[in-house]
């Protein structure tokens, strides 16, 4: 713990904690919709396809963020379009495009000469390496997502529950679906640098699922998911700093433990009620 | 001089007017050349065997699936030009709630149906009243996951009632409701029709209830086999034509 307090004096640690909390808030917020709309495999595919975006950045010798963002955005929208245009199940489509993108990503990566550590880092991410641009982007996305989704909350819940009913009530279902996928793809892109391709989905899925176990009303569920997301990041960073664990996995471990704790708690209370 | 009546409130304009409607599911014509009109304050039922295109017809009326040919007008306008008149339509599909684990309370669900209108009540008053009308006020804090099938249907009806509507479309909405609950439902629908001149269109399997509570029956078997008042429309010949010989034999034995 003393080590952690010393670490707090360093700007990189302050940035890491800010990034972790912002990401916890943003992913917890979007994740609450992802969990109910069954989009978790979608964000999983977008996350893996991001490898192409990063490899392109390295090959073109630009900051990977600026190839990653447009690539994931295009990829997300294109996948949704494909799902809408075929009779195939969405998980088949997602598997197809995920495999295709990974293949392209690995081939592109093979063209990268010399040091590939930068590229391999994207699998696991490094929250200690985030810069102010990354934090600014995350913050911007958080403000954008919260203001758009809260301003249209009634429509969002309705279209999550039943698209046909939402459409009859005049909700622009297609517009909102695409808008959400844009926000989700960009979120995956900004989160990858900090937590890596392999663990980004945990941020979207675990806090929301934990909140779903706890609450059977929408607003408490939404707030719970956001709070659990942010709380896990803070505790995860403390664990990481004190025990010298890698930070992304530490946060995910805290999310996972919280999930188990809540699961056990709900099981216990359910059996008490029966007694 | 007579004052101008807004067309949407003119009792001589059909609430729904369908002309030569054909809808394809893939290459198969699920609904073929269907025409009918529903006047304000009437209650109509679409009956027909499984796969006869009942849900397809309803979905095409609501523009949820594309139609091949024909025209559909609601409140005298094409559905895409309804604007805020959409809020006057209440629609309850067969499976409104796919996911019973969806974290939402009864009050929150009913609230989704509410929109601010000039003549309407405040939100909370409207929600309370809608839940009272369907005898579900005591459920308001419950999660939808804890409701029985019948309770859920009542709550969904409250969702439809939370703002004054003029057209209610129910696609086998009572499938899970017990007999007593169903009778209460029809009484409430009759009341809404008489007092607020709602128009009701429902897909139903219960020919007995349809005979007792509907003004008009539409027998569908891809195309419209018969239509009119229940006594005439539900004649043995028409039922034979709609449902086929198996159904007719079944009825003769009873």
Give the 3-state DSSP-derived string for B120-158, with helices as H, strands as E and coil as C.
CCCHHHHHHHHHHHCCCHHHCCCEHHHCCHHHHHHHHHH
Which residue carries 């209610």 as its tokens?
B168
Residues in chain B, pLDDT under 50: 1-5, 7-8, 249-250, 252-254
Residue B155 has φ and ψ, to the nearest 5°, of -65, -40
pLDDT number for residue B120: 67
In the numeric block, which tokens belong to residue A134? 């990354």
Domains and CATH numbers, chain B: 10-253 (3.40.50.300)
pLDDT number for residue A193: 84
Half-sphere exposure of B65 (CA within 13 A, CB side): 16
Q: What is the largest CA-CA distance in chain A?
A: 66
How high does pLDDT run on average in chain A? 90
Q: Cβ–Cβ of B104/A170 closer than 8 Å?
A: no
Positive or negative torsion for Cα B86, B92, B95, B97: positive
pTM passes above 0.90: no
Q: What is the pLDDT of residues A98-157, one digit of tens each?
A: 999 999 988 988 888 766 666 667 777 888 888 899 999 999 999 999 999 999 999 999
Is a pLDDT exceeding 50 seen at residue A69? yes
A268 to chain B, any CB pair closer than 8 A? The answer is: no
Smallest CA–CA separation between A160 and chain B, in Å? 9
Q: What is the pLDDT of residues A151-184, one digit of tens each?
A: 999 999 999 999 999 999 889 999 999 999 999 9
In the numeric block, which tokens belong to residue A160? 């999550």
Q: Cβ–Cβ of B105/A157 closer than 8 Å?
A: no
Instruction: Give, in words, the CATH class of A2-268.
Output: mainly alpha
- Out of A36, A158, A212, closest to residue B112 by CB: A158
Q: A62 pLDDT band (50/70/90 cuts)?
A: confident
A47-66 mean pLDDT: 88
Q: How far apart are CA B100 and CA B145, in angstroms?
A: 5
Is a pLDDT exceeding 70 seen at residue A274? no
Q: How far apart are CA A236 and CA A230, in angstroms?
A: 10
B85 to chain A, any CB pair closer than 8 A? The answer is: no
Question: Which one, of A155, A119, A177, A134, lies nearest residue A20 by Cα?
Answer: A134
Helix (H, G, I), strand (E, B) or coil at B168: strand
Q: Cβ–Cβ of B89/A217 closer than 8 Å?
A: no
Q: How far apart are CA B194 and CA B199, in angstroms?
A: 10
Which residue carries 């709602």 as its tokens?
B198
Q: How far apart are CA A213 and CA A260, in angstroms?
A: 11
Smallest CA–CA separation between B103 and chain A, in Å? 4
Q: What is the pLDDT of residues B147-203, one digit of tens each?
A: 888 888 889 889 988 988 899 999 887 666 676 777 788 888 888 888 888 999 999
Cβ–Cβ under 8 Å, residues A96 and A208: no
pLDDT number for residue A32: 96
Interface predicted TM-score (ipTM): 0.86
Give Cβ neighbours of residue B86 (< 8 Å, ≥ 6 apart). A168, A169, A170
Q: How far apart are CA A158 and CA A13, in angstroms?
A: 41
Give chain B positions within 8 Å (CB) of A157: 104, 108, 112
Residue A236 per-residue DSSP state: H
């Amino acid at each position: 713990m003393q080590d952690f307090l010393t670490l707090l004096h360093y700007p990189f640690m302050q940035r890491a904690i800010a990034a972790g909390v912002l990401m916890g808030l943003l992913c917890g917020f979007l994740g609450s919709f992802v969990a109910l709309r069954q989009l978790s495999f979608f964000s999983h595919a977008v996350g893996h396809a991001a490898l192409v975006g990063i490899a392109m950045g390295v090959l073109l010798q630009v900051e990977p963020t600026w190839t990653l963002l447009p690539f994931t955005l295009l990829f997300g929208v294109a996948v949704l379009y494909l799902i809408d245009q075929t009779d195939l199940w969405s998980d088949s489509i997602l598997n197809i495009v995920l495999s295709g993108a990974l293949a392209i990503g690995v081939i592109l990566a093979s063209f990268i000469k010399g040091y590939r550590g930068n590229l391999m880092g994207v699998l696991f991410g490094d929250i200690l390496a985030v810069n102010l641009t990354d934090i600014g982007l995350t913050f911007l996305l958080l403000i954008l997502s919260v203001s758009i989704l809260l301003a249209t909350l009634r429509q969002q819940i309705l279209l999550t529950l039943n698209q046909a009913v939402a459409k009859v009530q005049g909700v622009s279902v297609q517009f909102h679906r695409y808008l959400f996928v844009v926000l989700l793809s960009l979120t995956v892109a900004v989160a990858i640098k900090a937590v890596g391709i392999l663990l980004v989905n945990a941020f979207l899925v675990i806090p929301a699922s934990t909140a779903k176990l706890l609450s059977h009303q929408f607003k408490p569920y939404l707030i719970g998911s956001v709070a659990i997301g942010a709380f896990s990041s803070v505790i995860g960073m403390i664990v990481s700093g004190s025990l010298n664990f890698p930070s992304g996995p530490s946060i995910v471990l805290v999310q996972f433990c919280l999930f188990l704790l809540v699961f056990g708690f709900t099981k216990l209370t359910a059996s008490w009620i029966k007694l | 001089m007579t004052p101008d009546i807004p067309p949407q409130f003119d009792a001589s304009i059909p609430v729904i007017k369908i002309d030569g409607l054909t809808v394809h599911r893939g290459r198969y014509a699920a609904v073929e050349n269907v025409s009918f009109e529903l006047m304000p304050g009437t209650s109509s039922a679409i009956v027909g065997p499984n796969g006869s295109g009942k849900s397809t017809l309803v979905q095409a009326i609501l523009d949820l699936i594309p139609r091949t040919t024909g025209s559909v007008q609601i409140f005298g306008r094409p559905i895409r030009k309804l604007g805020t008149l959409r809020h006057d339509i209440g629609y309850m599909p067969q499976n409104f709630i796919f996911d019973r684990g969806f974290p939402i309370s009864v009050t929150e669900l009913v609230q989704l149906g509410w929109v601010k209108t000039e003549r309407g009540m405040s939100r909370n008053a409207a929600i309370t009243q809608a839940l009272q009308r369907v005898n579900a006020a005591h459920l308001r804090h419950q999660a939808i996951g804890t409701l029985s099938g019948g309770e859920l249907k009542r709550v969904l009806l409250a969702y439809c009632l939370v703002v004054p509507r003029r057209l209610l479309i129910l696609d086998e909405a009572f499938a899970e409701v017990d007999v007593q609950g169903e009778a209460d439902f029809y009484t409430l629908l009759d009341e809404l029709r008489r007092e607020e001149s709602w128009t009701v269109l429902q897909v139903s399997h219960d020919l007995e209830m349809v005979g007792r509570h509907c003004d008009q029956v539409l027998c569908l078997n891809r195309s419209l086999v018969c239509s009119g008042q229940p006594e005439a429309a539900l004649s043995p010949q028409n039922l034979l034509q709609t449902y086929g010989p198996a159904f007719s034999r079944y009825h003769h034995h009873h």
